[in-house]
Amino acid sequence: MHGFHDSDTPAPTSNDAIESGPWYKSLTRYHWFVFIVSALGWLFDCLDQQLFILARPSAMEDLLKSNYSDPKALFEATNFYGDIATSVFIAGWATGGLIFGMLGDRIGRAKTMMLTILIYSACTGLSALSQTVYDFAFFRFLTGLGVGGEFAVGVALVAEVMPAVARPQALASLQALSAVGNVTAALINMGLGLAEGEGLVSSPWRIMFCIGALPAVLSLVIRSKLKEPESWVQAQASNATSEKKLGSYTELFADPTWRKHALLGLVLACSGVIGLWAIGFYAPDLIRKVQEKPITAAIYAEEIAASKSPEDTVLLTTLRDAPADAQLTESQAAMKKTVSAKIKGRTKLYTGLTSIAQNVGAFFGMFGFGLLAQRIGRKPSFAIALIAAFLSTAAVFWFMQDLWQIFILAPIMGFCQLSLFAGYAMYFPELFPTRLRSTGTSFCYNVGRFVAAAGPLVKIWINSMITEPDPVLKIRYGGVAMCGVFLVGLLVLPFLPETKGKPLPE
C-alpha cells in the first residue's frame, strides 16, 4: 500500500495476547493511521451533530419568524419544530445505521466509511439552503443516514485492526476524541454569534452548516490509503463456501447467542442515547432561556451607558421598559434590531460555553470509562455510569441557574452521560463475530435511535402536561421527568456477558 512499508502493516494479533507497558506502545504506523482516520471520521460526525444542536434554535426561529408575530407563539413554535427536526434527524440516524452497518459487513469497513462521510458532509451543506422547516427536516434526515452508519463501521474497523492489548483503550480514545468535534462546533457557534452581534454576518446557522460540509475531503484519504481488516478479508473469503452470511440480520437473529446480545445491547444503548438526545443536549437550551433576562438587562445597561446622545438614551430606556408585543416606531424598530443582535450574540456565547464545558467533562469521562472498564470490567462500569448520569442530569436541570454553574454542573453531567458512549464503542464489537460485527454493533447502537427519536416527542407530551406558564420551569420539569431513562439500562446488565480479558468472538 502506498505510503506504508511492509514493516508498518499490522501483524497478526492474538486476541488473548498479554503485553506490558502502555497500550499505544504496541501500535505500528499503520495502526496509528487506522486510528487517526477512524477518529477523524467520528470526530467530524460529532461536529455535525453538535452544529445541529447549537444551530437548531436559530434555524427554527429564522425559518418560522415570518409565520408568527407574537414572540411567545414564536418561542413555542421554535421549540416544537426543533423537537420534530431532532426526531427526524435521529430517525435518519437509525435508518442509516441499519443500512450501512449491514453494508460494512458485506462490502467492507473502509468502503462503507467513505460512503457515510460523503453523505453526512454533503447533506449537512444542503441544510444551509433550507427555506422552510420541512426541507430543513428532510436534509437532516439525509444527514442522519450518513451519521448513523459511520459509528458501527468505525469501531468495527478499529476493533479488528488493533492488537488485543490496545483494543479497549483505542476504542475508548476514539470515542473520547469525539468531544473535540463537539467543542469545535461550540467554538464555531460562539465565533459566529459574536460576529452576528457586531453585524458582520447574518443567519450564522447557515454558515455553520456550510462548514459542516468540509469533512468530505477525508473520504478521499480513506479511498486511497485504508485497507480492509485481515479478519474481514478472511471472513469474506470463507463466505463463498459457508452457509453463514456476512452482514445478515437473518443470521444475527437466527443464532440465540447473537440474538440475545443484540436485543439486550439495544436496551442498554437506549438508556444512553435517549438520555443524551432527549435530555442532555437540551442543556444549552436551558441556559439560553435562563440567561435571557439577565443578558437582555446587561446589554441594555451597556448600550445606555455607551449612548452618545440624550435621544438614544431615551430610545433605549423606552425599548428596555416596553412589553415584548408593543408597537414600535421606525426608529425604535431599528434600534431594537441592533440591540437584539447583540443579545443573540451574547446568548450564543453562553450556550457555546455550556456546550464546551459539557464536552470537556465528556472527554475525561470517556477516557475514564476505558480505564475503569479495564480494571473492574465492562458491566460494573456501565452500572456506575448509568447511575451517575441519572443523578448528574437531574441536578443540572433542577439547579442550573447562574453563569458560574455552567463550569461546575455541565462538565459533571458531560463526564457522566458521555462516558456511556465510550462503553458502547468498547463493548458492542466484543459481543459479535467478525461476519456480524458491524451489523450487530449498528443494531444495538442505532435501532435504539428509533426509540430515541420518540424521546423529543415524549418531551413535547410531558411539556404539554405541565401547566406551569414559566418556560424555564417547563424545561426543568420535563428534563427531570425524563432522567429515569438512564436507569432502564441497569435492568439488562445482569443478563449480558462480561467481556473483559476475553477474545473477540469469531
Number of Cβ atoms within 10 Å of the Cβ of 477 = 18
Q: State what percent of residues in the chain have pLDDT above 90.
A: 17
What's the whole-number average pLDDT of the chain?
Answer: 82
CA distance 137 to 17: 48
**318-322, 336-340, 419-423, 466-470: least confident range:** 466-470
CA distance 350 to 352: 5
Whether the predicted pLDDT of 242 surpasses 70: no
CA distance 374 to 178: 20
Domain 23-229+248-495 listed as CATH 2.30.42.10: no
Whether the predicted pLDDT of 9 surpasses 50: no
pLDDT bucket at 338, cuts 50 / 70 / 90:
confident
Whether the predicted pLDDT of 15 surpasses 50: no
In tens, the pLDDT along 380-389 reads 999 999 999 9
At position 108, the amino acid (one-letter code) is G
Give the residue-averaged pLDDT of 45-59.
84
Residues 6+ apart with CB under 8 A from 380: none
In tens, the pLDDT along 254-271 reads 889 999 999 999 999 988
* pLDDT score, position 19: 47
CA distance 351 to 193: 10
Give the residue-averaged pLDDT of 73-91.
85
Q: Are 443 and 100 in contact (CB under 8 A)?
A: no
In tens, the pLDDT along 118-145 reads 888 889 889 999 999 999 999 999 998 8
* pLDDT score, position 460: 66
CA distance 38 to 448: 22
* C-alpha triplet 133, 414, 390: angle, nearest 5°: 95
Q: Is the dihedral of CA 421, 422, 423, 424 positive or negative?
A: positive
Whether the predicted pLDDT of 231 surpasses 60: yes
Q: Residue 410 carries which DSSP code?
A: H
Q: State what percent of residues in the chain have pLDDT above 70.
A: 88
Give the residue-averaged pLDDT of 189-193.
81
Residues 6+ apart with CB under 8 A from 276: 417, 418, 421
Give the residue-averaged pLDDT of 282-301.
79
* pLDDT score, position 494: 95
* pLDDT score, position 267: 92
